[in-house]
Structure 1
Amino acid sequence: MIKAIADIDFDKLLEGETISREAVTYIKDQVYSSKENREKLDAKIESLKLDIKKEHDSVKVKDLILILGICEWIVGKVKEASELLKEVKSRKTGAYYLGKCYQELGDYNQALECFERAKKTDMEEFDIHMDIAETKRMSGDIEDALKIIKGFLQAHGNSAELHCQWGCCLDELGEYQEAFKHYEQALQIDPNYAKALFRMAFNYDMNGEDEKALEYYERCINLSPNHKNAFINLGILHEDRGNYDEAAYCFEMVLDAEPTNARALLFLKDAKASISMYYDEEISKKQGKESEVLNIPISDFELSVRSKNCLEKMNIRTLKDLTKITEAELLSFKNFGETSLNEIKAILAQKGLRLGQALESDTESELFSAKMTMEEEGDAIEDISELNLSARCRNVLSKAGIERVEDLLKMTDVELSQKGVKENYLDEIKENLSKFGLSLRTGDNSEAEMERNATE
């Protein structure tokens, strides 16, 4: 058994077709158990890429591509992994993990094809059959999924995975009580079965039984540190209960292992905003006035009968509703033409608004930000804390000796990188600066220098 990720020799991980799914699962758990382990695997991924470029033996190249594809899948780079694994899909292991990629990407037909290819040499591989059943369920073919599951009842009736998959199928059919029984049976067989714990937690969550949901989510993440959905759901639950620090921690745990996870980034931003939220009377008054404008009924304006009828059919009642729809969506509606569109745009312009604006904004007050010039906004911020950066990003800047916005604006990408600011934090800094019409200083050939630094 592999003791720790530091002891894993990736060059010897594959010998022919002997790489085991158990070993890959163990590696994945290790990678998601700490930031240090993730960084070690990231470094190995870069090393594998270089090895592939240097290797001239076609068989060894395929071996390295297979390992690299699996590693990319482990760290959540599913699209990149799938492109690599397509090159080795003739191998049983390659086909299996390509199937896992397709399943995550929602291409269920391709996933099923890969899983079928993976099990051709061993028709008794129970776990692959469960992958097939799961994929069929996810594609909506519940009947076939249940048929596969029940077909293994006699031989694998004491399997936690079988009962968990059975419960998931029953959930899809709306038979929640029966599903619950199968999750409980799975946990009787294996009290530490993370999939069943997650499903129990999710069902309690949906039923509004917060305390039970918290208990099962906590048990799930303690046993399966790579279960990002458990962390995200737990974070949302904490946020709903006003526990913003705990919520932020959950989302940060996901981002430690998968820095580009869109859901975790979005939820972390909301949690951080809630933590730093403060009451300001003037802001409160301003937001009250803005809310009044957004809630003005469309009926208060003089519009053509056609425009009014179209908006009514689209269930658009207020100015706020108009800020949540785009020009293209309006024009796609039957009988809604350019004339009606121009009428709507003129009304919104009177109030300093435009179509689709709410889709670009996080709060109602941002809908009115166009009234403040970029220069005014830039002058209004001095301290780094006003940029609404994540706690981790602020800590990195503080360690680099950067406490004020004016100091930050004097820096280039390369200079910040040399001070230990990683790429994901650079992106966060630039995104937040852009909201105030600000940007980092542009240095000569900065992009080229960044690329060189990244490969050194």
Structure 2
Amino acid sequence: MDTTVDLAVQFEQPITTHDAFNRLACAAFSTNETLHRFIELLNDLEDKTERGEGDASASSLKLGLAYLYMGDAPKALTWLGQATDGAVRRMAAGQAHLESRHFTEALAEFDKAATLGANRLEIDTLRAECLALLGKLDEALLALKQHASHEAGSASWNYARGRIHQEQGDLQQAAASYKKAVEIDPANAHARFYLAYLCDLFGDDEEAMDHYIHCTGLPLVHMHALINLAVIHEDNNEYDLAEECLRRVLAVNPNHARARLYLRDVMAADTMYINENQVRAMEKRSAVLDTPITDFELSVRSRNCLKKMNINTLGDLLRITEAELLAYKNFGETSLREIKAMLAQKGLSLGQNSPMGGAARPAPDFAALAPNVSPDVLSRPVMSIELSVRSRKCLQRLGISTIGELIIRSEQELLESRNFGQTSLTEIKACLVQMGLSLRQA
């Protein structure tokens, strides 16, 4: 059977449930051919509706759902606002607000959907996700607790539990919950996407790419997955593959700002002159700097102190000064002499890669930089913030592991990192503003 013809038949059917449209969307995103046909059908319906042809309310609901699954939440909300009220419309509007990170508005829509007869388990798992992202973790757990009997068989329940784990900073448990959700329902788009994200975060590039590739055939996360794949390919100097991913995004949404910006970066990088000797030298230096501290013969006390300071590699050690080491509790002159002697044997020294060129620098005065922010917030790992793959990898290259370490950097310091551009800077600044923070003024 011609799948594009079958898709057209499905698209003409009236929408009775959210699940029915979800099945249509999964069929639409299964191949590039069916996706392009879906876009054609969507554009035709939009033109007819704007000309006043057909049932405007029913068409508006279908268009709203279609744009939600295409990843265009603002346009989805515009069309949903013109549809007749009902559980499907309210559920879709809540999801569109959730995708736009308008969590309070999403909760209001989900509550209204519940009064109109929407599935209570589905509603409460979505509410739990919203509450977790608002920082109301106890309320989120309570919303899930009343459906605990569904843990073994509900992908949405396990996905929501993963979101709560992630907001709590327990990324290993979050990954386990996402994995269980995917095992129950391989087409659970958000669970698979966040599982890919965490695999990438843990350094498991192969598994991350497998999940991202699977996500490119799923609605809701299609474009996000392609962009993250493009970043991974770019980091691996696979510029043709990165370009292909970004052009697939633009084929769906020609005005996608981030994809357009990344495409320019990829094409510029692909045409740069490459000095092979310089590349080999950089790779060799990078390999040395990535050597784990555990590979060196240090005393147990020195090793434990470095571990507690989150100094895990030789590169981490070269970015810290004597004064910073001595300021740490239980770190004394004996440990300092031991570490300096070990570095001297390799022609290295403490602080040589610090922003101040090895000069002693005072410990950051977080109280002065953010007097109204809890120390617990400043000590949070930056990986707990939902950043794009590109932004996160740039922060890793700069050795920034906590919120506090981020706010002592200036815009210029961030922009000097490879592949770090204005889009990533804007994203990070927006995340900090939500916490009442900002980057250091140069």
TM range (shorter): 0.5 to 0.7
Match of 2:68 in 1: 73
Deviation (angstroms), 1:169:
0.9
Equivalent position to 1:19, from 16, 19, 22: 16
Letter in 2 for 1:158: G
Change (3 A) 1:149 1:227: farther
Given that 1:28 and 1:226 are in contact with CA atoms closer than 8 Å, whether structure 2 keeps it comes out as: no
d(CA) in 1 for partners of 2:90, 2:47: 24
Give the C-alpha shift of residue 173 in structure 1: 0.5
CA separation in 1, counterparts of 2:146 and 2:32? 41
Deviation for aligned residue 1:166? 0.5
Q: Which amino acid aligns with 1:261?
A: H
d(CA) in 1 for partners of 2:418, 2:172? 40
Displacement, 1:34?
4.5
Deviation at 1:81, TM superposition (A): 2.4
2:143 to 145, 148, 173: 148
Instruction: Note if contact 2:4-2:33 (Cα within 8 Å) is conserved in structure 1.
Output: no
Equivalent pair of 1:204/1:210 in contact (CA under 8 Å): yes
- Contact 1:166–1:179 under 8 Å retained in 2: yes
1:49–1:180 Cα change, 3 Å: closer
Q: Is the 8 A contact 1:254 1:261 kept in 2?
A: yes
Q: How far did residue 149 of structure 1 move? A: 1.8
Coordinate RMSD, CA, aligned:
4.0
* Residue 41 (structure 2) aligns with: 44
Aligned partner of residue 16 in structure 2, secondary structure: coil
Secondary structure of 2:216's match? helix
User: How many residues are aligned here?
Assistant: 290
* Residues 36-80 of structure 1, C-alpha deviations (whole Å, 9 max, x = no match): 4444444434433443355489xx332222223223333343323
Determine if contact 1:204/1:213 at 8 Å carries over to the other structure. Answer: yes
Asked whether 1:106 is paired with 2:101, we answer yes
**Correspondence for 2:266:** 271
d(CA) in 1 for partners of 2:187 and 2:12?
31
Matched ranges for 1:264-303 at <5 A:
264-278=259-273
How far apart, in 2, do the equivalents of 1:36 and 1:216 lie?
21
Cα 1:269–1:36, aligned 2, differ >3 Å: closer, same or farther? same
- Does structure 2 retain, via aligned residues, the 8 Å contact 1:235–1:246? yes
Distance 1:76 1:220, change over 3 A: closer
> In 1, Cα distance between the equivalents of 2:187 and 2:50?
42
Could you say what secondary structure the match of 1:87 adopts? Answer: coil
Identity rate, percent:
26
Counterpart selection for 1:131 from 123, 126, 130: 126
Question: Secondary structure at 1:88's aligned position in 2?
Answer: coil
1:250 maps to 2:232: no
> Superposition pairs for residues 51-450 of structure 1, below 5 Å?
51-52=48-49, 55=52, 60-88=55-83, 90-122=85-117, 124-190=119-185, 193-221=188-216, 226-278=221-273
In 1, Cα distance between equivalents of 2:175 and 2:417: 38
Match of 2:25? Answer: 28
Deviates most, 191-200 or 170-179: 191-200
Question: Secondary structure, in 3 states, of the residue corresponding to 1:157?
Answer: coil
1:6 CA displacement: 5.1
2:153 partner SS: coil
Q: Secondary structure at the match of 1:130?
A: helix
Deviation by residue 1:360-394 (Cα, 9 ceiling, x = unmatched): 99999xxxxxxxxxxxxxxxxxxxxxxxxxxxxxx
How many Å separate the matches in 2 of 1:71 and 1:224?
9
> Would the aligned equivalents of 1:29 and 1:226 in 2 still touch at CA under 8 Å?
no
Q: 1:12 deviation in Å?
A: 4.5
Distance 1:187 1:358, change over 3 A: closer
Which structure: larger Rg?
Answer: 1
1:5–1:27: 8 Å Cα contact kept in structure 2?
Answer: no
Q: Where do 5+ consecutive residues of structure 2 fail to align?
A: 276-367, 370-410, 420-442
Give the Cα–Cα distance (whole angstroms) in 2 for the partners of residues 265 and 256 of structure 1: 11
Q: 1:4 to 1:26 in 2, by over 3 A?
A: farther
Change beyond 3 A, Cα 1:47–1:362:
farther
Residue 219 of structure 1, CA deviation? 4.0
Conservation of the 8 A alpha-carbon contact between 2:3 and 2:34: no
- Please state how far the C-alpha of 1:196 moved relative to its aligned partner: 3.3
Partner AA of 1:96 in structure 2: M
The question of whether the paired residues in 1 share the 8 Å contact of 2:30 and 2:218 is answered with: no
One-letter code of the match for 1:29? Answer: C
Shift of 1:269: 1.8
CA drift of 1:11 comes to 7.7
- Is the CA contact 1:98–1:114 (under 8 Å) kept in the aligned structure 2? yes
Contact 2:226 2:249 in 1 (8 A): yes
Q: Deviations over 1:169-228 (max 9, x none)?
A: 101111123223323333443456543333232122112333332333334435669532
CA distance in 2, matches of 1:53, 1:187: 39
Gaps of 5+ in 1: 281-312, 315-355, 365-456
Per the alignment, residue 345 of structure 1 pairs with none
Supply the distance in 1 between the matched residues of 2:412 and 2:242 (Cα, whole angstroms).
28
What is the CA–CA distance in structure 2 between the aligned matches of 1:30 and 1:13, rounded to whole Å? Answer: 14
Aligned AA for 2:166? Answer: D
Paired AA for residue 134 in structure 1 = E
TM-score scaled to structure 2, two decimals? 0.55
Instruction: Work out the CA distance in 2 between the residues paired with 1:116 and 1:225.
Output: 22
- TM-score (norm. length: structure 1): 0.54
